[in-house]
A and B are shown apart, each in its own frame.
Chain A
Amino acid sequence: MAVITLHRKPLTFAERTYLPQVAAGLWTTFKHLLRPKETLEYPEQRPAIPPGYRGVPALVKDPHGREKCVSCQLCEFVCPPKAIRITPGAVPADQPERTHVEKAPQEFEIDMLRCIYCGLCQEVCPEEAIFLQNQYSMTGYSRAEMVNNKEKLYALGGTRPDAHYKWDKKKAAESAGGAHH
């Protein structure tokens, strides 16, 4: 490989006094002084949340207001800091049209002091039941307060408008002849 020798240009006298450089720097900082501010005044002004933002994870319901989570516990296993704790249970008796789903979480807790907002739970969930929300500001006075239980998770997540109705289709297919849809 050819070696190219670069010669550093000797500094001119003006450059060696350092003064033109300082003056130019002062001009630059002065322009910054007059520019509009970069920061937001946080509690009043909120930043725009970009799509794909990973905020607080929460459980969502389908458009009919039914629970989507089937308590498969995949998210619990995948969660790197072990923030999720699920107590599996049966589908409650007052939802007869969902008994064929067989399982539902009895309790579902996410410890927000452990969660690292990695989004793996959302990635892994086969039911699209857990999503990271836009909310980023979680505060509390005690450790217990920072653990989101199932009720809180559904309150945070709300319903999600994607109409898959996987289990309805499954039931329909079953009653039509046992084949998969």
Chain B
Amino acid sequence: MCDLICHIPPAVQDLLLSILKGFAVILVIFPIAGASSMAERKVSAWIQGRYGPNRAIVPWFAYVPFVGRFLQRLGVFNLMADGGKLLFKEDPLPGHVKKFYFMLAPLVGLVPAFTTVTVVPFGAYLDRAGQVVPLMLANVDVGILAIFAVASLGIYSMILAGWASNSKYPFLGSVRASAQLVSYELSLTLSVLPVFLWVNAPGTDATLSLARVVEFQSQPGLMGGMWFIFLMPVSALIFLVALFAETNRLPFDMIESEADLVGGFHTEYGSFKWSLFFVAEYSHMVVGSAVFVLLFFGGWNPLPWLPLATLTGWLHLQDWPVVVGALSVVIFLVKVLAMIFFFMWVRWTVPRFRYDQVMKIGWQKLLPLAIGNLLFYLLVIGAIHAF
């Protein structure tokens, strides 16, 4: 191994590593976004009593007994067909748009969506000393702050798209987008503060790292193994609702609401540029769900009061860090996918709110609730540490 990389100067090593990580993000997020779009179609279909896409199949795959048929019925190949279509379809560029910004907008949307992925820890393994080491691409200590800061840049892509499209529906959509995102950003941030106040108890190293939050939820004992969903249900609820609004999912998808805005900010977009918006949207969803799981659902710990380290002990996997790592990633992914399923499930359950209702919920209900919640936990934490 060392023969290969040791004679490369460290600066170049770093660069190579960064490039590799970048590719890793792209190679993971694009398929996940695609799979989410497929899941979206399948879940929608099942909830509506339909079969959903189940026809497309690669010819030679049809000969694989059982598995081929199963994947076909699951619509896996429709996903490839969709991707291929979006890639090779004619890319329309309407005459009335501001061309440069029009083309820039999807890219602007993609960058924050991909950047946030790098700071999300997605698994952990135990090193020789039995210490839990989180797996993440960029281990920055500002964790949650980085995610909030970068993820909200995604709104610029919508504003840019709406403005550059130079027609009224996209414009209205992007105006709504900015208003809605600003309104819910506040509650979102306020709702996670109690969690970090709790984690950063006086006398410990201050951190905003998400991995630390998960670590906190994997301590022994009744309080230690408690996931934050049990400790702070109201925070979790506010975070969840705000997350729906931030990711523009129903019942808050005022931005795309096809009934009154045709397609919202991406009305004028087609083929690959349009699909980039969707990749961005789905990766926001994935990151949002991941953060929610990390904060409130114990990250890669299999069950409440059952941390990964204990499970590793039971399965005698201490000497297999790779297996433990894979296991933790699988546990984490299952939780994230369950969250994504929840997003889709809610989509077909709750009808879209009216715009004034969205604003009212955001400012008059969620924000006071978030502030009250923060105050409550301030007092509780203060009381705990005072006595």
Using a CB–CB cutoff of 8 Å, the interface residues on chain A facing chain B are: 19, 22, 25-26, 28-30, 32-33, 35-39, 41
Taking a contact as CB atoms under 8 Å apart, the answer to whether B51 and A41 are in contact is yes
How close is A46's CB to chain B, nearest CB, in angstroms? 16
Give Cα A33–Cα B44 distance, bound, in whole angstroms: 9
How close is B239's CB to chain A, nearest CB, in angstroms? 15
B349 within 8 A of A: yes
Q: Which residues of chain B from 327 to 378 have any CB-CB distance to chain A below 8 Å in the complex?
A: 345-346, 348-350
B131 within 8 A of A: no
B48 within 8 A of A: yes
B58 within 8 A of A: no
Give Cα A159–Cα B358 distance, bound, in whole angstroms: 65
B contact patch SS: loop
Taking a contact as CB atoms under 8 Å apart, the answer to whether A32 and B51 are in contact is no
Checking A33, A36, A41 against B47 with a beta-carbon cut-off of 8 angstroms, the contacting residue is: A33
Cβ of B50: which chain A residues have Cβ within 8 Å of it? 37-39
Give Cα A15–Cα B49 distance, bound, in whole angstroms: 29
B148 within 8 A of A: no
Taking a contact as CB atoms under 8 Å apart, the answer to whether B346 and A32 are in contact is no
B46 within 8 A of A: yes
Taking a contact as CB atoms under 8 Å apart, the answer to whether A28 and B49 are in contact is no
Taking a contact as CB atoms under 8 Å apart, the answer to whether A37 and B345 are in contact is no
Cβ of B348: which chain A residues have Cβ within 8 Å of it? 29
How close is A134's CB to chain B, nearest CB, in angstroms? 25
Taking a contact as CB atoms under 8 Å apart, the answer to whether B51 and A25 are in contact is no
Cβ of A39: which chain B residues have Cβ within 8 Å of it? 49-51
Which 8 A-B residue pairs are closest in the complex by CB-CB distance? A38-B49, A25-B349, A29-B349, A39-B50, A33-B46, A26-B349, A29-B47, A32-B47
Taking a contact as CB atoms under 8 Å apart, the answer to whether A29 and B49 are in contact is no
Taking a contact as CB atoms under 8 Å apart, the answer to whether A26 and B345 are in contact is yes
How close is B220's CB to chain A, nearest CB, in angstroms? 33
Cβ of B346: which chain A residues have Cβ within 8 Å of it? 22, 26
How close is A44's CB to chain B, nearest CB, in angstroms? 11
Given A22-B350, A25-B350, check contact A35 B49 (CB 8 Å). Answer: yes
Cβ of A30: which chain B residues have Cβ within 8 Å of it? 345
Return the chain B residue nearest A22 by Cβ: B350
Cβ of B48: which chain A residues have Cβ within 8 Å of it? 32, 38
Q: How many residues of B contact A (CB 8 A)?
A: 14
Known: A38-B49, A39-B51. 13 other contacts (CB 8 A): A19-B237, A22-B349, A26-B345, A26-B349, A29-B345, A32-B47, A32-B48, A33-B43, A33-B46, A37-B50, A38-B50, A39-B49, A41-B51
List 21 A-B pairs, Cβ < 8 Å.
A22-B346, A22-B350, A25-B349, A26-B345, A26-B349, A28-B349, A29-B47, A29-B345, A29-B349, A30-B345, A32-B48, A32-B49, A33-B345, A35-B49, A37-B50, A38-B48, A38-B49, A38-B50, A39-B49, A39-B50, A41-B51
Return the chain B residue nearest A24 by Cβ: B349
Q: Which residues of chain B from 25 to 68 have any CB-CB distance to chain A below 8 Å in the complex?
A: 43, 46-51, 54
Give Cα A25–Cα B346 distance, bound, in whole angstroms: 9
Cβ of B350: which chain A residues have Cβ within 8 Å of it? 22, 25
Cβ of A29: which chain B residues have Cβ within 8 Å of it? 47, 345, 348-349
Give Cα A101–Cα B49 distance, bound, in whole angstroms: 56
Cβ of B237: which chain A residues have Cβ within 8 Å of it? 19
Give Cα A29–Cα B127 distance, bound, in whole angstroms: 44
Taking a contact as CB atoms under 8 Å apart, the answer to whether B49 and A37 are in contact is yes
Give Cα A39–Cα B47 distance, bound, in whole angstroms: 12
Give Cα A28–Cα B48 distance, bound, in whole angstroms: 11
Cβ of A35: which chain B residues have Cβ within 8 Å of it? 49
Return the chain A residue nearest B43 by Cβ: A33
Cβ of B345: which chain A residues have Cβ within 8 Å of it? 26, 29-30, 33
Return the chain B residue nearest A40 by Cβ: B51
Give Cα A22–Cα B350 distance, bound, in whole angstroms: 7
Interface bits B197-228 vs A (CB < 8 Å: 1, else 0): 00000000000000000000000000000000
How close is A48's CB to chain B, nearest CB, in angstroms? 18
Give Cα A33–Cα B48 distance, bound, in whole angstroms: 7
How close is B202's CB to chain A, nearest CB, in angstroms? 34
Cβ of B43: which chain A residues have Cβ within 8 Å of it? 33
Cβ of B51: which chain A residues have Cβ within 8 Å of it? 37, 39, 41
Cβ of B49: which chain A residues have Cβ within 8 Å of it? 32, 35-39
Return the chain A residue nearest B55 by Cβ: A41
Cβ of A38: which chain B residues have Cβ within 8 Å of it? 48-50
How close is A163's CB to chain B, nearest CB, in angstroms? 46
Give Cα A155–Cα B358 distance, bound, in whole angstroms: 61
Return the chain B residue nearest A36 by Cβ: B49
Give Cα A28–Cα B348 distance, bound, in whole angstroms: 10
Give Cα A36–Cα B350 distance, bound, in whole angstroms: 22
